[in-house]
Homo-oligomer: A and B are copies of this chain.
Amino acid sequence: MSLLMFVALAGYLIAYRINQSAVVGIILAGIIVGPSLLGMVTYTDFVETLAHLGAVVLLFTIGLEFNIKDIAKLPYFVIAMFGIIVPALGGFFLASLFGYEFNASVFVGTALTATSIAITANVLKEMGKLQIDAAKAIIGAAVIDDVLALLALSVSEGLVGGELSIMSLLGTAGKAIGFIVIGILIGQTVLRGLIIRLDRTQIAWKYHETIFIFAIMIAFLYALAAEAVGLSAIVGSFMAGASFGGVKLTRGQIFREGAEHLQIIFASIFFVSLGVIMDLHFVTWNVLWFVLALSAVAILTKLIGCGLPALIQRIGFRDSLIVGIGMVPRGEVAMIVALIGLGQNLIDQSTYAALILMSLLTTIIPPLILRNWVFKRE
């Protein structure tokens, strides 16, 4: 734990020296201390547990700055849909081109579909840009994206296993969409009401911390429910956060500040773990070409697949560019898909390493672009 904090601090120092976002610095620090270079930290269960907590808390605090109504919009759905289809096709054809089998190619395509909101959202948060329209589009589309990527995973598992049933697909979609609809309804009515009522009770007057504990409980409850229907936990905690977004309590902002403080520690661990999970030793020269081509495809397909629909829907050139870049990071979602593929023997160790490295590159590059080019002039 102490070591993880030290690595995070070193990450801030790196970020400060190279004048980049803290996320990039911390991931780089993670790579340096991880198995790739120094081998001081390995991805143990302990690190995984804390990193998981970190991702959940991070998306909860980001959710707090949103209102569900801002992000559930048709244009974002269109952006999300093309942001799935274009990368999936791009990944599939690239893998086929590199001589991969059909099954492996399908999985590579699937790994390119999901967007990791955690990274971009944190960069936007660091720069104080969470409330601009493009940020809302990114978050909205990324949440929808997560549902669609889950479906894409089911489809590709069906394709590969040769038993693609419409029924099971509809079942998966139904559960995911049902969770989101019910989650939002409960959040907007019951939970908002509950926290406001709790705030007025004698218990909250005597023990301020109960409000904070209640909010964190809901965050993890939603995360659990999201995982139960097959979505990633962070979609759940984001929805929980958005349920409390804009709630005004008489007893101050303890749950907001508290979540922020939890996030500082545990999200740092999450970003360290992203660097640690990566072992550069698996990357041979042969793999490297594939990684570079794959990362290029991953970046271009999201840029076009999300940016173009945004532009067509009159979101404006600069904002469409931000949306396209913001949707690029694959982060831990692609890593999870890669892990599933490896577990089912559909891809080998080197393809696994290539996918991990691709998701790392797509995670590091967009913050650099956003920071140094897009928001540079401000």
A residues lining the B interface (CB < 8 Å): 1-2, 5-6, 8-9, 12-13, 15-16, 22, 45-46, 49, 53, 202-203, 206-207, 209-210, 212-214, 216-221, 223-224, 254, 257-258, 261-262, 264-265, 268
Contact = CB atoms under 8 A, between A and B. Distances in A.
A220 B257 CA distance: 22
Contact of A16 (B16, B207, B224, B261): B207
B5 A203 contact: no
A213 B5 contact: yes
B16 A212 contact: no
How many copies of this chain are found per oligomer?
2
Nearest to A215: B5
Contacts of A9: 210, 213-214, 217
A210 B221 CA distance: 30
A12 B210 contact: yes
B262 A213 contact: no
Given A16-B206, A16-B207, A216 B5 contact: yes
Given A2-B220, A22-B207, A217-B6, A265 B12 contact: no
Interface centre among A13, A206, A207, A223 (most CB of B within 10 A): A207
A261 B268 contact: no
A197 B1 CA distance: 23
Given A12-B207, A16-B203, A45-B45, 8 more contacts: A1-B224, A5-B213, A9-B213, A13-B203, A22-B207, A212-B264, A212-B265, A257-B261
A224 B2 contact: yes
Contacts of A203: 12-13, 16
Given A46-B49, A210-B9, A264-B212, A217 B2 contact: yes
A257 B221 CA distance: 25
A224 B1 CA distance: 9
Contacts of A268: 213
Contacts of A206: 16
Nearest to A46: B49
Contact of A213 (B8, B213, B254, B257): B8
A112 B352 CA distance: 54
A157 B45 CA distance: 33
A369 B334 CA distance: 56
B220 A1 contact: yes
A-B interface, 7 closest residue pairs, ranked by CB to CB distance from nearest: A5-B217, A2-B220, A258-B261, A2-B221, A261-B261, A1-B220, A209-B264
Contacts of A258: 261, 264-265
A224 B2 CA distance: 8
A218 B9 CA distance: 12
B49 A264 contact: no
Contacts of A213: 5, 8-9, 12, 264-265, 268
